[in-house]
Chain A
Amino acid sequence: MSLDTTALVPRAVTRPPNRRVVGLLLLAAGPVLVLGLLFVLPVTGMVAEGFVVDGRFAPGAVLEVLARPRVHRVAWFTVWTSGVATALAVVLGLPAAYALHRLALPGRAAVRAALLVPFVLPTVVVGVAFRQLLGEGGPLGSLGLDGTPFAIVCGLVFFNVAVVVRTVGVAWEALDPRPGQAAAALGASPSQVLRTVTLPALRPAIVGAASIVFLFCATAFGIVLTLGGVRHATVETEIYLLTTTVFDLQAAAALSVLQIVVVVGLLALAARLRAVPDPTAHRTATPARPVRRGDTPVVVATLLVLAAMLVPILTLVVGSLRVDGGWGLANYRALSGTGDDQALLVPVTSALATSLRTAVDATWMALLVGVVVAAIVTRRSHSVAERRVRSTLDGFFMLPLGVSAVTLGFGFLITLDQPPVDLRDSPFLVPMAQALVALPLVVRTLTPVLGGIDDRQRQAAASLGASPWRTLLTVDLPVAWKPTLAAGGFAFAASLGEFGATSFLARDDSPTLPVVIFRLIGHPGAMNFGMALAASVVLAATTAVVMLAVERLRVPGVGAF
């Protein structure tokens, strides 16, 4: 036997690449299994309903659907409205991200918390608020925007601009200012610094935020229906219509497949755009600097964005205070009751308690899985295969954002109905569904933080005899625990506001607040409408308070939410 020179390479440090990939897959098995069970299986099951006709695999009908001109129209409408809304959210969000995270503006913590309020407001209520503004008799009625694609885009931007402000703002806060100063000292004007240094450094955050926003927009449901009226259908509304009203499962399956293909393509593109030459960018906690005269345009732009966000919310608040043509708090007092003529089984107050409880469960579930996923996808890869596995996993866990809640909801019913996984009656079903929506937010929040940890610290810990588990505890956890809490806060908010899956799955004896609001606004009676608005204000205020609490936990520069 000849001497094997490779034996001279210290094996303990660099394990063979294929063994690393296997280890990686083992570690990923848990979260993958969870997502496979709660997402892939139901969606596949529902899509299969369309492909399998009378027990035979018959893809012809589905493919035929894809050729329909209406499907093309719907797909194109979805893509362009989501694209425009995403672009607008980014353009409007960037100045606000800078102003609220980099400048010492008074009250910026409160403003940052308030910015997340639209995120949790029930779309149906916001839709009505928007329509009271844009409708024929509203103050902006003369613009004739009601029912136009423009109104849809406005609504989408309203709901999503906070995602951009948060994600990009935190990255901006953590951005080392010195490369920018070096560029300025080399003769770059402020706009050149922005273009050549700052934006490239922010690219991962901007692309990450934009892809989340795009997915939210592309799967938006209530806002499209309410603001667009019946004329404008998106893939998501069409799937709903085809599944529940027309019961054309082939067509619904075709659109679901189309949606998944587009989402996967988009995620692949986003992963490419997000990749930067040097991911271990320097992170610093830069103190916010005082506002200078040169900041005027940014501050003005931010104030305009805030004002635009505030108007629909104010409409809600004003509406909630209207009682019989006068003003009063009767709508709020009524919240502890059950509405006009018992429109509700439970008082709004106990629905709020249910919402909070459900949100807690959804939050720990999302965190549990999200932390593991984030840890997996951010470890440095030692081979191309390994990197590919990691980035595939990264995209895989974003999928739930981009796939129809209708398909997923019905899929739950028809696939998770047999022991050992009969989850249909489980009280965990609602929080699990909400956790699926919150999971990508947790992962996107944590990956930049964990990715920013210098791998050499982990190597140092390992060389001192720490096991991988111990390394996680001593190196990753101290850096990541606060952002993890912050990510939990965002998951909490997302869960509080989640309506699509919840309304589908909620049990009647314990409806969540958005479900109750939806019920209130679905019945005639001035009091019910006023209560729906008041309950929305309560939901918004609760969210703002939770977000403020999270804000207090935030470490500057880490943890996007």
Chain B
Amino acid sequence: MHQSSVRAALTTAVAALALAGCSLSGGDPSGPTTSAADGSDGTTGGTVVLATHESFALPKKLIRRFEEESGYTLEVRAAGDAGTLATKLSLTADNPIADAAFGIDNTFASRPLGEGAFAPVTPSVTPPEEYALAEGGDRLVPIDSASVCVNVDTAWFDAEGLEPPQMLDDLTDPAYADLLVTPGASTSSPGMAFFLATVAEHGDDWPAYWTDLLANGAKVVDGWEDAYYGDFTAGSETGTRPIVVSYDSSPAFTVKDGRTTTAALLDTCFRQVEYAGVLAGADNPEGAQALIDWMLSDEVQSALPESMYVFPVMPGATVPDDWAEFAPQPTDPYEVSPEEIAANREQWLTEWTDVVSR
């Protein structure tokens, strides 16, 4: 009796919840859709649509301020990963899905650029030259950077009394046998970045390095979350591997009692820079330009670390204390040009897959 009345109550609750908020379009978004209607303050107004990947996030407060100050309504369409975004923009180059795009990184930049997806843009502030693309720098504006580095569980190494590795070549040292886990280059963006670091280090001899790496017991898994939460000793209670491919910012998330228990090996990093651009044929290019300017503003740049786990590119931005203290950025990361990546990606991935599935 009692049980069935509980069940009935739950049923009703679910039904009410579903029906009340529901149906015919998925409800009204809580965003301030009305702000654009009033164009009397002289700003252009209208909606600006941003296409981005699923990791995009910025505080609602900042977005509201952008809308109030610029008079635009920002509509964010965030879906899929970076590769999906690049493919979407490339396929829709002649009929863009948005006004601006954010989230194309240096490993994927050449594809949409080659398809003519982006229009030239000159931001009101100029980001540091070190992040600019050699080709397409007139169309893609750097917004943030995140370096993929080998991370180590320093607590584990301390407990074992073992000196952690330093360089990529250390990873093939038998002393570190069966300790590394990395996401796959074919299935994961940080996995690809790590692979590119090895390519930058070893050039055409990378297959030999990877053969050694695997012979030394390196484990290749699907995604970053599998590696970090499934196998990394500092990320999972059942993890067995104290070396993982992750980000330069990751040590800021393992802080305990004022110390971090992990470290990024700064000589193993490949830097991913994320770019934004105005889409060719956009309905609202002015709005797109305003959006990019806003993303380079200090307040957005300073919000990037906590919203998207990336470092800002503008020198005036501030980073959180934990980041400043525990997550130093590499000074001289590995580099592979977007053109070289685009030209070789398929070949590399095919070979790489052969090596790891051997």
Contacts and interface: CB of A to CB of B under 8 A. Distances in A.
B7 A552 contact: yes
Nearest to A523: B309
Contact of B11 (A233, A413, A549): A549
A287 B350 CA distance: 58
Given A225-B223, A229-B222, A342 B87 contact: no
Nearest to A230: B184
A342 B84 contact: no
A508 B229 contact: no
A505 interface: yes
A523 B308 CA distance: 9
Nearest to B8: A552
Given A230-B221, A246-B349, A519-B54, A360 B23 contact: yes
Contacts of B240: 135-137, 141
Given A357-B18, A358-B26, A524-B228, A225 B86 contact: no
What is the interface of chain A mostly: helix, strand, loop, or mixed? helix
Given A245-B349, A345-B57, A356-B22, A510 B29 contact: yes
Interface in B91-114: 91-92, 95, 97, 111
Nearest to A244: B83
Interface stretch (A92-100, A126-134, A178-186, A470-478): A126-134
Contacts of B11: 545, 548-549, 552
A513 to B, nearest CB: 13
B27 to A, nearest CB: 5
A354 B345 contact: no
Nearest to B178: A136
Size bracket, chain A contacts: 35 or more
Nearest to B222: A225
Given A229-B184, A356-B18, A549-B15, A508 B56 contact: yes
Contacts of A518: 54
Interface centre among B97, B223, B240 (most CB of A within 10 A): B223
A357 B27 contact: yes
A503 interface: yes
Contacts of B294: none
A243 B87 CA distance: 7
Nearest to B252: A524
B65 interface: no
A325 B238 CA distance: 12
Contacts of A552: 7, 11
Contacts of A191: none
Interface in B16-38: 17-19, 21-27, 29-31
Given A507-B76, A508-B78, A357 B22 contact: yes
Contacts of A137: 231, 236, 238-240
B21 A131 contact: no
A546 B77 contact: no
Given A353-B17, A529-B229, A548-B7, A241 B186 contact: yes
Contacts of B320: 341
B238 A138 contact: yes
Contact of B306 (A247, A342, A361, A507): A342
Interface of B is mostly: mixed
Contacts of A237: 187
A418 B95 contact: yes
A101 B282 CA distance: 58
A430 B25 CA distance: 10
Given A341-B306, A361-B23, A515 B54 contact: yes
A322 interface: yes
B357 A231 contact: yes
Contacts of B163: none
Nearest to A529: B229
B105 to A, nearest CB: 12
Contacts of A248: 346
B299 interface: no
Question: Which of A138, A247, A549 has the largest number of chain B CB atoms within 10 A?
Answer: A247
Contacts of A246: 345-346, 349
Q: Size range of the interface on B?
A: 35 or more
B124 interface: no
Nearest to B15: A549
Interface string A537-556: 00000100110110010000
A128 B7 contact: no
Contacts of B90: 247
A360 B87 contact: no
A431 interface: yes
A357 B222 contact: no
Contact of B97 (A132, A424, A431, A549): A424
B187 A428 contact: no
A123 B331 CA distance: 38
A147 to B, nearest CB: 7
- Among B192, B249, B306, find the residue whose CB has the most chain A CB atoms closer than 10 A: B306
B272 interface: no
A508 B77 contact: yes
A413 B230 contact: no
B55 interface: yes
Contacts of A505: 79
Interface string A319-343: 0001001000000000000001111
A293 B114 CA distance: 72
Contacts of B187: 225, 230, 237, 241
A521 B357 contact: no
A244 B87 CA distance: 6
A119 B294 CA distance: 42
Interface string B53-72: 01111111000000000000
Contacts of A436: none
Nearest to A549: B11
A494 B233 CA distance: 35
B54 A131 contact: no
Interface string B319-350: 01000000000000000000000000110011
Given A344-B57, A509-B76, A364 B230 contact: no
A345 B60 contact: yes
Contacts of A417: 92, 95, 97
Contact of B79 (A231, A353, A364, A503): A503
B220 interface: yes
B238 A135 contact: yes
B236 A132 contact: yes
A414 interface: yes
A226 interface: yes
A410 interface: yes
Given A247-B111, A357-B21, A357-B22, A230 B353 contact: yes
A431 B26 contact: yes
Interface string A227-240: 01111110001000
A536 to B, nearest CB: 13
Interface string B248-284: 0110011000000000000000000000000000000
Given A244-B87, A518-B54, A524-B250, A413 B92 contact: yes
Interface in A355-382: 356-361, 364
Nearest to B230: A131
Interface string B203-244: 000000000000000011111111011110001111111000
Contacts of B250: 524
6 contacts: A124-B223, A135-B240, A137-B236, A229-B220, A241-B187, A510-B29
